[in-house]
Amino acid sequence: MAQEIITKRQLLFIKAFKQGTKSRQEIIDYITRDDDIPSINRNMFNRDKDAIQNAWNLEINYNASTKKYSLNSADLTNHLEKLIHSFDIIYAIHRTQHLENILFLEPILVNQTQHFEAVLDAIENKNCITFRLNSFEQETSLRKCAPIAIKEANKRWYLIGYDLDKNAIRNYGLDRIDRLRIIEDKFKPIDFDVKKAYENAIGIETYFDVEEVILRFDNQQFNYVHSKPLHWSQNIIKQTNDTFDVLINVHPTHELIMEIFKFRDHCEVIAPKSLREEVKKFVLNLYYKYNK
pLDDT one-digit tens code per residue, 67-90: 998 876 655 566 667 767 777 777
* Average pLDDT of span 33-55: 82
Are 158 and 201 spatial neighbours (Cβ–Cβ below 8 Å)? no
**Domain range list for the chain:** 3-96, 116-198, 211-290
pLDDT at 104: 73
211 forms bridges with which residues in the sheet?
A: 250
DSSP 292: -
Are 216 and 245 spatial neighbours (Cβ–Cβ below 8 Å)? yes
CATH T-level topology, domain 3-96: Arc Repressor Mutant, subunit A (1.10.10)
pLDDT at 6: 75
pTM reported for the whole predicted model: 0.74
Q: At what angle do helices 3-15 and 78-96 cross, to 10 degrees?
A: 120
Lowest mean pLDDT: which of 56-70, 87-101, 178-192? 87-101
Query: Does domain 116-198 correspond to CATH entry 2.30.30?
Result: yes
Q: At what angle do helices 42-55 and 24-32 cross, to 10 degrees?
A: 90
CATH T-level topology, domain 211-290: Alpha-Beta Plaits (3.30.70)
DSSP 58: -
Short-list 283, 261, 275, CA closest to 214: 275
* % residues pLDDT > 90 (the chain): 53
